């Protein structure tokens, strides 16, 4: 069968407060532990998928240019999952654009695969629930499962071998109205040195601290969920900062080491501690790159952003929580 549908979707990136770092099944991209994140309104990807019976191969335009072969291949493999589900063979033309504050190597795979999952299933004429979309997005990138939803999101590791219980779901918390995240980009956004997919597998295979990291995650998840239920920002921030440091400690102990931090990263961490000592709400988290994201309140966000900008080589943007991934235009075949 062929289809010729077109759909455009938008999805926001998310930043984990309890990190995903390690898989229980690489082929199905199943996480070894759960995770918990905040979807961010300032980091948006918009993606259009057009199935076109005239195409002999999938095409990908990324941020206005023809994508690298590795990115086309990853997109094509992801589209194959949707083609199998829709029982079609039609190739697609995909255009994807990141509306990020700077081209910085921020969490674009999360928003990218969430937007692609929503746009491609819609263009293929499939009716899928948000939970199914989260499991589909997970196949593209583990963190993308969480970008299907807005606000605070919990990803379940699940136990089933087929991954049928490894999905994301939103967590409602009164904290959502009170918080902001400040994104401090280091060095204008140098491309990251180790992709997260390979780096987490290397950590699992070689780091003497990996087991300790995985054992810690359920405790941090329970404490973070407790903090969300009690709307206790200080508890949530404290867990998030400690969890990020534990994730990086496991990666730093891999052999050879995976070190994402630059001197400016450490300067930002010291600045965050200093702001806290002065009574501002500020807790740091870092992902597979040198940038620092700071959880804060609506009230303190501007002061936090100003202080982070005083560190040389840093640009900082305040983000609100973001909404769920959604279709913004569609045309059936
Ligand atoms: O979704 P991936 O494969 O890009 O991995 C995400 C890894 C971290 O960003 C470091 C942590 C997380 O939970 O988002």
Q: Which residues does 122 contact at the CB level (< 8 Å), separation at least 6?
A: 5, 7, 9, 49, 327, 330
Tens digit of each residue's pLDDT (9 = 90 or more) over 66-98: 999 999 999 999 999 999 999 999 999 999 999
Higher pLDDT, 3 or 138: 138
Q: Which residue's C-alpha comes closest to atom 8 of ligand 1?
A: 287
16 closest CA partner among 166, 109, 143: 143
CA 127, CA 140: separation in Å to the nearest integer?
19
Q: Where are the beta strands (DSSP E) in 54-213?
A: 59-62, 65-66, 92-99, 152-155, 168-171, 179-186
Give me Rg for the CA atoms of the chain: 19
Per-residue pLDDT at 187:
80
Q: Mutate which of 288, 290, 291, 293 to test ligand 1's pocket (most atoms within 8 Å of Cβ)? A: 288
* Ligand 1 centre distance from Cα of residue 266 (Å): 20
Q: Which of ligand 1's atoms lies nearest the C-alpha of 35?
A: 13
* Ligand 1 centre distance from Cα of residue 55 (Å): 33
Pocket around ligand 1: residues whose beta carbon is below 6 Å from it?
16, 19-21, 35, 107, 109, 141-143, 196-197, 287-288
Strands of the sheet containing 179-186, edge to edge, are: 283-285, 292-297, 179-186, 314-319
Q: Which residue's C-alpha comes closest to atom 10 of ligand 1?
A: 287
CA 47, CA 223: separation in Å to the nearest integer?
36
* Ligand 1 centre distance from Cα of residue 124 (Å): 28
Average pLDDT over residues 291-306: 98
Instruction: Phi first, then psi: give them for residue 116, nearest 5 degrees.
Output: -65, -40
Average pLDDT over residues 18-46: 97
Average pLDDT over residues 21-38: 97
Q: Which of ligand 1's atoms lies nearest the C-alpha of 141?
A: 1
Q: Give the other-Cβ count within 10 Å of 249's Cβ.
A: 13
Q: Which of ligand 1's atoms lies nearest the C-alpha of 195?
A: 4
Q: Which of ligand 1's atoms lies nearest the C-alpha of 197?
A: 3
Q: Which residue's C-alpha comes closest to atom 9 of ligand 1?
A: 287
Tens digit of each residue's pLDDT (9 = 90 or more) over 167-206: 999 999 999 999 999 999 998 555 556 888 899 999 999 9
216 closest CA partner among 251, 243, 176, 186: 243
Q: Mutate which of 14, 20, 43, 197 to test ligand 1's pocket (most atoms within 8 Å of Cβ)? A: 20
Q: Which residues does 268 contact at the CB level (< 8 Å), separation at least 6?
A: 184, 186, 284, 292, 308, 311, 314
Tens digit of each residue's pLDDT (9 = 90 or more) over 220-264: 999 999 999 999 999 999 999 999 999 999 999 999 999 999 999
The pTM score is: 0.96
Specify burial of residue 272 (Cβ count, 10 A radius: 0-12, 13-18, 19+): buried
Cα–Cα distances in angstroms (integers) from residue 194 to residues 48, 98, 207, 327, in the given order:
28, 21, 15, 32
């Amino acid at each position: 069968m062929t289809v010729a549908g077109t759909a455009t979707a938008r999805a926001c990136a998310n930043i984990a407060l309890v990190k995903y770092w390690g898989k229980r099944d690489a082929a199905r991209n199943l996480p070894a532990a759960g995770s918990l994140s905040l979807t961010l309104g300032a980091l948006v990807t918009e993606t259009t998928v057009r199935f076109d019976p005239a195409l002999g191969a999938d095409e990908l335009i990324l941020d206005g240019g023809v994508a690298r072969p590795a990115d086309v291949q990853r997109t094509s493999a992801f589209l194959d999952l949707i083609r199998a589900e829709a029982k079609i063979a039609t190739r697609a033309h995909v255009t994807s654009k990141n509306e990020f504050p700077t081209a910085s190597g921020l969490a674009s795979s999360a928003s990218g695969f969430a937007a692609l999952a929503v746009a491609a299933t819609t263009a293929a004429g499939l009716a899928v629930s948000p939970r199914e979309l989260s499991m589909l997005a997970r196949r593209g990138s583990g963190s993308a499962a969480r970008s299907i939803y807005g606000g605070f999101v919990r990803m379940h590791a699940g136990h089933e071998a087929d991954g049928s219980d490894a999905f994301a779901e939103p967590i409602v918390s009164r904290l959502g109205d009170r918080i902001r995240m400040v994104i401090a980009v280091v060095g204008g956004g140098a491309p990251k040195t180790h992709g997260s997919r390979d780096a987490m597998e290397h950590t699992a295979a070689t780091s003497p601290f990996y087991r300790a990291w995985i054992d810690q995650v359920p405790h941090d998840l329970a404490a973070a969920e407790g903090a969300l239920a009690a709307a206790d920002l200080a508890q949530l921030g404290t867990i998030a900062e400690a969890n990020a440091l534990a994730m990086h400690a496991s990666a730093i102990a891999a052999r050879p080491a995976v070190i994402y931090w630059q001197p400016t990263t450490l300067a930002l961490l010291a600045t965050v501690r200093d702001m806290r000592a002065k009574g501002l709400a500020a807790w740091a988290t870092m992902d597979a790159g040198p940038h620092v994201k700071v959880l804060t309140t609506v009230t303190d966000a501007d002061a936090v952003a100003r202080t982070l900008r005083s560190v040389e080589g840093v640009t900082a943007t305040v983000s609100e929580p973001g909404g769920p991934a959604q279709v913004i235009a569609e045309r059936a075949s």
